[in-house]
Amino acid sequence: MRFLIVILIFIGVSNVLIGQKLKVLRFDQLEQLIEKQTDSLLVFNFFATWCKPCMQEIPDFLKLQKEVSDKPIQFYLISLDIEKDSNKIFVSFIEKYQTGDFTYLLKVPKGDWISKIDQNWQGNIPATLVINNKKKIRKFIAKPLDYQSLSKLIK
């Protein structure tokens, strides 16, 4: 009987975990986010948990995000991980860094979506897009950034 209760609790807990799945974003939804007319500066970081340099720059991103939290800057982490691995990503990444609110898994579309983000992008990650449509700001860096280079980008 006790065994059964343990199993039931286990199922309950894992359901809660699975319930807070990684948010999945379609490409058109990502485009809408990018094209948003807002006073905030939008920062999109394209990453994947399997990409070592991406994982190396995440702590710097989060540090900076905390520091500018009083400013109108909105951060998005766009994961290009493989959809099948999304549960694993959820546990290993979102739980570790507590970034569930602004982390999305991109449902990679057919066709050349990479050029739509930036003409010169070859699809290498990490890559970061800093954009404000109202102020006509658009910067795209397809290489790893550190704390200093990122703070320059958003200041």
Partner 1 sequence: MKKYIVLSFLMVFNLCFSFGQNKVVKDFKLRNVDGKYISLSDYKSAKGFIIIFTCNHCPFAKLYPPRFNELHSKFLPKGVPLIAISSTDTVQYEEDTYPLMVEKAKNEHFMFPYLMDGNQKVAKNFNAQKTPHAYVIWKENGQWVVKYDGAFDDNGQEPEKVENKYVEAAVEALLENKKIEITQTKSIGCQIYFRKK
The one among 29, 68, 74, 85 contacting partner 1 by CB under 8 A: 85
> Which listed range, 7-15, 26-34, 43-51, 129-137, lies at the site for partner 1 (CB under 8 A)?
43-51
Residue the block writes with tokens 């449509």 = 133
Residues 19, 61: Cα–Cα separation, whole Å = 27
Q: Cβ distance 90 to 9 under 8 Å?
A: no
- Comparison of 80 and 150: residue with beta carbon closer to partner 1: 80
> Minimum distance from CB of 140 to partner 1 (Å)?
14
Which CA distances in Å does 53 have to 17, 46, 47, 69, 85?
28, 12, 9, 24, 19
Q: Cβ distance 140 to 127 under 8 Å?
A: yes
The one among 30, 51, 73, 94 contacting partner 1 by CB under 8 A: 51
Verify binding: residue 119, partner 1, rule CB under 8 A.
no
> What is the token pair recorded at 34?
């990018």
> What is the token pair recorded at 39?
């006073």
Verify binding: residue 57, partner 1, rule CB under 8 A.
no
> Minimum distance from CB of 150 to partner 1 (Å)?
19
Query: If phi over 0 gives left and psi between -120 and 50 gives alpha, with beta otherwise, what is residue 143?
Result: beta
> Which listed range, 9-17, 23-31, 58-66, 114-122, lies at the site for partner 1 (CB under 8 A)?
114-122
- Comparison of 121 and 147: residue with beta carbon closer to partner 1: 121
Q: Please report, as ranges, the residues that interact with partner 1 according to CB under 8 A.
A: 48, 50-53, 80-85, 108, 110-112, 114-115, 121-125
